[in-house]
Structure 1
Amino acid sequence: MDELTILKVDETTWSSEAQAGELAFHKRPNFRSNEEGFRKGNSSFFTGLGYTPTDMVGKTVVDLGAGSKLRAKFFEGSKIVAIEPLGDKFIEEVAWCDLKDAEKVFSFPAEYRISEIEGTVDFLFSINVLDHCYDFETIIGNIHAYLKTGGTCCLSFDCHAKVDKLHPIIINEKVATQIFFDIGFRIDKFLRTPSYHKAIAEYSVTFFMTKV
C-alpha cells in the first residue's frame, strides 16, 4: 500500500463537491432503501465485529457520519445520537431516512466540536466515513472529547492510495495509529477488514479503542 497520506483538504471544496455527491447517492435507491435488507446486513456487520444487541442498554451511543439510516439501532435500549452533516437534508429529502428516530441529530460535519455532548458518550462508532471527510485529526480530537473516560469507539474506514470527489483524504493505518496514541486512545484491537469501496480500496481498517 502506498504510504501517501492526505489528512486534510479544503473545507469549501469538500462542502460543495463531496457533500453534493453524498446527497445525490443517498437519494438514489441503495442498500439503505431496503429496510429488511439493511437491518439484516447491519446486524451481521456488528455481530461480525463481536458486538451483541444488548451491549449498550442504557448507554449513550453516537453514530458519527450516520448517513440516511441509523446503524445504531442495532444496539437495543441505547440512547442514540447521530452526527451527520447532511442530516437535515436527509430527513427532508430521503424517503427511507430514519434519523428522526435518534434522540438527537446534529447536522454538522464531524470536524465541528459539539460541546453539548463532550464527556457524555459511552460508545461511538464511525463506519465507512472518515475517508469521506476533510480533516482527520480534528475529528479524532472531537471523538476523544465526546467520550467519557473509559468510553470506547469503533472506527472503520477504507485505506486507499487515490482520491475522488467522495473520498478526498487518504488515511494510512500507520499514521492513523500514531494520531490515536498522541490524542490519548488505547488501541484494544485492530483488524484489516473488507473494503467498503472496492474500486478505490483493497481493504479497510477497523480500530477498537478506549479513552484512557
Structure 2
Amino acid sequence: AELKCQARGPNLNTTWFKDGEKPARHLGDVRIKGATLKMENLVPTDSGNYTCVVNNAHGSINHTYVLEVIEHIPSRPIFTKHLENLTVTRGSTVRFEVDTWTENTLVPFLVWKKDLPISWSNSDSRDPSHIIIDMKILEDALNGKEGGNITSTEDRQVVVLTNVTENDAGWCTCIAANSLGTSSSTAYLNVTEGFCGTSKL
C-alpha cells in the first residue's frame, strides 16, 4: 500500500500515525519518505486508521486513510488440484483426488458423480457423441464395490477404486458447492484388458 499526504506550503513537516500512535508492524517495515507512507506484503494486522499531520509556522492540517486488509474474499469453491484422465488395466487400483481452497472461505459440500453429462464449456473438443447422459452417484456405486472408498481432509478428497473392471470406466466428476456457487472437475477413466501401465490421456 502507498498512502500519500498531499499539501503545499513553505517548510512543511509531515508526521504519520496509525490509530493515534507511531506506525509499526508485526511483519515487515513501514517506509516513510516525505509525505508518502509505503508498506509491502500487507496482512490483516496492518488494518487501521492512518493519519498524516502536516504543519508549518502557519498552522496544521491532517487527513486520515482507513485501510482494511482481508486475507481472502469468500467465493464459490475453487479447485487447486483437478482430476486427471487415467488409463489403467483391468484389476488395477485407481486413485482420483481433488484439492479445494478452504482458507477463509465457506467450506464446500462435495459430491462425486459418474457419467455426468458434460457441457461444452468443460468438454473442450470432445466429440458430442461420446457424452453419456446417464447419471449415477459415485458414493452409491462404491457401496457395492469391495475395496472402494472415499476419504477426505480439510482441503483434499480422494476416491480409491480397487480391482477395476470395464464397468468402472467412464467420466468421473467432483462437484463442489457452497452458498456462493458451484465448481466442478471432470476426468475420464479408461480400463483396458492388456498391460499398458498407468498414464494420463
Same fold (TM over 0.5): no
- Structure with higher Rg: it is 2
| Structure with a larger share of its residues in helix | 1
Give me the TM-score of the superposition, normalised by structure 2.
0.21
> Relative to total residues, which structure has the larger strand share, 1 or 2?
2
